[in-house]
Amino acid sequence: MDFEPPFQGTCKTLLQNPTHYHDKLSDVDECELPVIDLNNLNFGHTEREKIVSEVAQAASQWGFFQVVNHGVSQEVVNNMQYEQKRLFRQPFPKKVENNLLNLSANSYRWGNPEATCLKQFSWSEAFHISTTEIPTMRTEHKSLRSTIEAFVKTLSGLARSIAEILAQPLGIKPVYFEENCPARTSYLRLNRYAPCPFSSQVYGLISHTDTDFLTIVYQDQVGGLEIYKDGRWLGVKPNPEALIVNIGDFFEALSNGIYKSIKHRVVTSQKVERFSVAYFYCPSYDVVIKSCGKPALYRQFTLREYKQQTQIDVQEIEENTFLQSPKMRN
């Protein structure tokens, strides 16, 4: 099919060398993430305090949770699915062109053509879209642009609301996020995980933690997301009514380790493709992230320093483990 990236050619080269194998992927237990009903925020102070407690507990014990009654309409979700599939069905040579959507260079990404072992290779493709670029998307993709605008408009408000809920038990003022996370600094990532003939050996997305304060994910019902909790990997059971929220490195550092940014990955399916959309709630580039507690577990840092350190981490140990780096510990 002309829309598929050249996954097979890259992987076959890696599979031919036995030293490039990683451990075979094994079956994992399935889990249901904590579910938070955001509609209860409308039922007075007592119910709101209960929600605050539930969200904080999920963020500290799991690092992941689900939200229902989140305000994203089914119509918007359905439109996003339709437009996303249309986009990924574009011929591969067109997708790698920087002017397909009039986005910045390297907005379209697939696998890792420079991988030297399977641990570095992700069997997936994605469009990484800054919110500042959405209004300038090419006019022939007007339907995609309007769908993304509607999706991002709702998710940006949702992300800020959840961040403010999480800030309350920490004693952080709600205006912190209004001041440090303007709409222009966040971004959207459209993901497609193609069927993989080597599904027992190749990840759809390698193990990592997220850069941001929060990530909000819509995933289809195929499944494949796995989280690392209590020393083992757990598969996340899809919930058709929920959005998934996970804590990023910035919130773990800001909370002084109370909230957990945990490793997660995506496994592949041999026969079925999987789609997801992720919204990353990020601060401005030079905002200083400083732990709210004392003694501070992490030294203060900026997004600029984060990016520099994660490049080193990925090159050295094939994972983004920024907060575990000795350079980040006080």
Residue ranges of alpha helices (H) inside the chain are: 7-15, 45-61, 74-88, 92-95, 142-167, 175-180, 249-254, 303-317
Count of other CB atoms within 10 angstroms of residue 80: 21
Place of tokens 């027992």: 200
Residue 214 bridge partners (DSSP): 247, 281
Structure tokens given for 6: 């050249």
What's the CA gap between 161 and 281, in Å, rounded? 11
Nearest to 298 by CA among 323, 268, 278, 269: 323
Count of other CB atoms within 10 angstroms of residue 177: 22
- Find out whether 268 and 196 touch, Cβ atoms under 8 Å: yes
Query: Buried b vs exposed e over 11-22: b needs ≥16 C-beta within 10 Å?
Result: beebeeeeebee
- What is 267-282 written as a DSSP string? E--SS--EEEEEEEE-
| Active-site residue, selected from the candidate residues 86, 274, 304, 329 | 274
What's the CA gap between 35 and 245, in Å, rounded? 10
The SS3 assignment for 242 reads coil
Residue 89 a catalytic site member: no
The SS3 assignment for 169 reads helix
Identity of the residue numbered 12: K
Structure tokens given for 323: 């907060």
Q: What is the DSSP letter of 149?
A: H
Q: Which residues are catalytic?
A: 274
